[in-house]
Amino acid sequence: MSLRRNARPHPVPLLAGIALALLTLQLGNWQTRRAAEKAELQAAYRAAVERPAQPPGAMPPADWQKLELRGEWLPGRSILIDNRVHQGHAGYHVVTPMQLAGQGGVVLVNRGWIAASADRTQLPRIDNPPGAIVVTGRVRHPDAKPFLLGGDTSSGPVRQALDLSRYRAETHLPVADFYVQQTSPAADGLIRDWPEPDAGIDRHRGYALQWYALSALATALTLWYLWNAFRSPRHDQRKPV
């Protein structure tokens, strides 16, 4: 007596295998595209920092472009961006508006990091040297909607993030749509140890490799399932009674 197996594969595991293979392939492709985009951004950053600093022009500057600002600090208008860490120590980034000479514009300058006191109610003192100054730095564009922990409702100079709209509303200053991350030295006690931005290119490539490996595994298992379903049927050889 011989019994023949049903050679048709069940559609559920077959469709699940195909879907998993396609999904992980798409995720791998997405990570590959992200790596390429980050590589372009990294190249743009390095090209921008190698160019000489230029004075602000009529056209909006690009991110990381080096600018040379000439003007005066506006006293009493500085804000402190909280939760900034330098070498394991908590502190603030000091952001001060500069009135540009001969142009009438105002640009916010992130002047650097300062340590926070153990008593957070005691804010650090910020020196604003009077008179004309020259500042060189890199252009940065803050997030239009920065992430805030529980909302930023403080009324003092401390902020969770730089919000240009809020700053304009509170100070009535026509600040530009960007700020400058100061890189030039100054005798103000602030630390300007700005790290090069981490584009995360290798991380995206690693994720892409993992997704491609999962896609290859899902494809191999699906093919193995089909092969077992359609291969020649076995015969159950039984001894006659």
Residue 175 lies inside a defined structural domain of this protein = yes
Count Cα neighbours of 42 within 13 Å in the Cβ-side half-sphere. 13
Residue 32 lies inside a defined structural domain of this protein = no
pLDDT for the residue 150: 58
Q: How far apart are CA 106 and CA 99, in angstroms?
A: 5
pLDDT for the residue 45: 79
Residue range 104-109: average pLDDT? Answer: 91
Range of the domain at 62: 53-182
pLDDT for the residue 153: 59
Residue 2 lies inside a defined structural domain of this protein = no
Residue 201 lies inside a defined structural domain of this protein = no
Please name which of 112, 114, 97 lies closest in space to residue 178, comparing C-alpha atoms: 97
Residue 68 lies inside a defined structural domain of this protein = yes
At position 210, the amino acid (one-letter code) is Q
User: What is the number of structural domains in the chain?
Assistant: 1
Here the tokens at position 72 are 């005066």
Q: Do 180 and 139 contact (CB within 8 A), yes or no?
A: yes
Q: How far is CA 240 from the centre of its chain?
A: 75
For residue 236, pLDDT beyond 70:
no
Residues 129-149: pLDDT tens digits? 888 999 999 999 987 766 666
DSSP string, 77-132: --EEEEEEEETTEEEEEEEEEEEETTT--EEEEEEEEEEPPSSTTSPPP-----S-
Residue 29 lies inside a defined structural domain of this protein = no
pLDDT for the residue 2: 47
Residue 158 lies inside a defined structural domain of this protein = yes
Residue 227 lies inside a defined structural domain of this protein = no
For residue 165, pLDDT beyond 70:
yes
